[in-house]
Homo-oligomer: A and B are copies of this chain.
Amino acid sequence: MTLTGYDVAHLMLLLGVLLLAARGVGEIFRRMKQPAIIGEIVAGIFLGPSILGNLFPQVHAFFFKSSPAAMLAIQGITQFALVLLLLISGIEVDLARAIKQGRSALLTSLFSFIFPFAIGYGAGYFFAPQLGLQQGSNTVVFALFLGVALSITALPVVARTLMDIGIFNSEVGLTIIASSMFIDFIGWLIFSVILSMLGQSMTPYGFTGTVLLTFAFVGFTLLIGRKIINKMIPFIQEKLSFPGGILNFIFILGLFAAAFTEYIGIHAIFGAFIMGIAIGDSPHLKEQTRENIQQFITNIFAPLFFISIGLRADFVNNFNGWLLLIYLLLAFGTKIIGSSFGAFLGGFKKYDALIVGFGMNSRGAMEIILGLLALQFNVINEQVYVVLVLMALITSLSSAPLMSIFIRKSPSFIKPSKLLKPKQVIISSARTVEEVIKELTQLAADDLRMKPEIIYNDVMQRESELPTGIARAIAIPHARVAIANPFIAAAYVSAGIDFSAADEIPANIVFLLLTPMKKNELQLEMLAGLARFASVANVAEFAAQPDAKALHQKLIAILETVERK
């Protein structure tokens, strides 16, 4: 078989059209502040059987049916793109961070996986025909597939969402990330095993052999291969041409791993994903290398893959509203309940656990890739494929707004700027530490309906252990007391009081911070927030404020600036 002149012309035309459509619609979505990848998928739905195929069947046939050889080449390029996508997903996985989150991440991922998986399996087993089992396919395989489909969480989407809403580095954020990594890993492992069960792959090793080989591959790559790669990367980055050398090293490893896993009977992308984890784990990998790869893949290869999603099925004639509703209920329900429950067991409070739940709900590209494979292997019908693509889009897009609702309510995300009320800001003429703390604890006692002496004693006790002068004329006396919510008050002391700050500058701004007894971290976060205030505040500005009200506004403005960073 060779490509004829017509095939070559058609291949170039198709690549041009697909890139143009994918990037064009992708750019439009990006400008509407939506992820470009959704635009790329939408472009595929337009060019595919759904719209173009229904409206102009002859144009559609010219593009996608007139040159089978060109289509085969496009398929090859799309497969290459898919392997590269999973490779980069693996590189984004930070094993060390996942392990560090430890118990909370383990419990979260456990329930975030098991609960949707169990429900999905049960539903798939008992209601296979209603849920879209492909005729003639195996019910158990379908049930297993549905279990995995419900329990997937898409790490790349999750990471981007957490960065967008600014909680990536919080404990909640890190737990979500770590749990997604575990789930990604387990999900692909199980799904690969399912594929090998189908017997449609060419494995000569039988089901057990494939499973054993898979574990051997994962063990070898993540334990031994990872260390070898880590030793080779500095050599390659320094001795070979840069970035060509390292780029090719990573591509080659990814391709070999993909080929190996496909040969042993599980899918190519699993190998690429695991190899990506092993590569991305190296601390020697330069940030520039990561970026080069990312650019390379996201600019040309990813659009070609994402547009191919919409080309596979007729989204109009295969649209089934009821099926979509059932899948959405199952997806949202099982994932949010499972993840939140796990996070709760892992030590998170109610609202934080819910944030974890909604955060884990993004299915993203992973779900779509899974659906595509299931469609290819005849596990599901086209209706389910369409539902899965839509479910992936809806869960991913709804994740950020739903998380935001609970972030506003969660104590972990309460910021000093939200706590400092106007009546808790005073201009004080105090001259000693004792005087100003007495004034501030009185404010607290009034607000919290507690005896002022108790608070005063706690705060002075803390002050005597270690003075709380921060620097740049700011002091933050504080204590943990028997209250439910944190409390902040502030005083401007024109005279300046010596709080033994390291820079020896007397304090003009004194914050009183009271936090609930057992919430050690909350206290640390609030202290850190106020300390950041110290690093940017200019005391002269406060001296210029005419009264307590103006002073309050000024304090809030600076706190908000600091917190946005």
Contact = CB atoms under 8 A, between A and B. Distances in A.
B259 A12 contact: yes
B248 A2 contact: no
Given A1-B72, A68-B1, A8 B79 contact: yes
Interface stretch (A106-114, A165-173, A236-244, A431-439): A236-244
A256 interface: yes
A75 B9 contact: no
A300 B248 contact: yes
Contacts of A12: 79-80, 83, 255-256, 258-259, 262, 268
Contacts of A240: 27
Nearest to A76: B73
A20 to B, nearest CB: 5
Given A8-B268, A19-B255, A262-B8, A241 B27 contact: yes
Interface residues of A, number: 62
B201 A5 contact: yes
A2 B75 contact: yes
A6 B83 CA distance: 15
B243 A299 contact: yes
Interface in A13-57: 13, 15-16, 19-20, 23, 27, 30, 36
Interface in A130-177: none
Contact of A202 (B3, B6, B200, B252): B6
A59 to B, nearest CB: 16
A190 interface: no
A255 B19 CA distance: 10
A10 interface: yes
A3 B79 contact: yes
A460 to B, nearest CB: 57
B72 A9 contact: no
Contact of A5 (B6, B8, B71, B200): B200
Interface in A491-508: none
Interface string A195-214: 00000111000000000000
B70 A244 contact: no
Contacts of A8: 79, 262, 268
A39 to B, nearest CB: 12
Contact of A259 (B2, B10, B259): B10
A392 interface: no
Interface string A444-484: 00000000000000000000000000000000000000000
Contact of A16 (B1, B30, B255): B255
A13 to B, nearest CB: 4
A255 B300 CA distance: 13
Contact of A298 (B23, B244, B245, B296): B244
A268 to B, nearest CB: 5
A80 B202 CA distance: 30
A262 B300 contact: no
A558 interface: no
23 contacts: A1-B68, A1-B71, A5-B200, A5-B201, A6-B262, A9-B258, A9-B263, A10-B259, A12-B80, A12-B255, A12-B268, A16-B252, A16-B256, A19-B252, A69-B76, A72-B76, A73-B73, A77-B80, A243-B299, A244-B298, A247-B300, A292-B295, A296-B296
Interface of A: 1-6, 8-13, 15-16, 19-20, 23, 27, 30, 36, 68-77, 79-80, 83, 200-202, 240-241, 243-245, 247-248, 251-252, 255-256, 258-259, 262-263, 265, 267-268, 292, 295-296, 298-300, 303, 376
Q: Which 10 A-B pairs have the closest CB atoms?
A: A73-B76, A16-B255, A9-B262, A13-B259, A12-B259, A244-B299, A12-B258, A5-B201, A23-B248, A16-B256
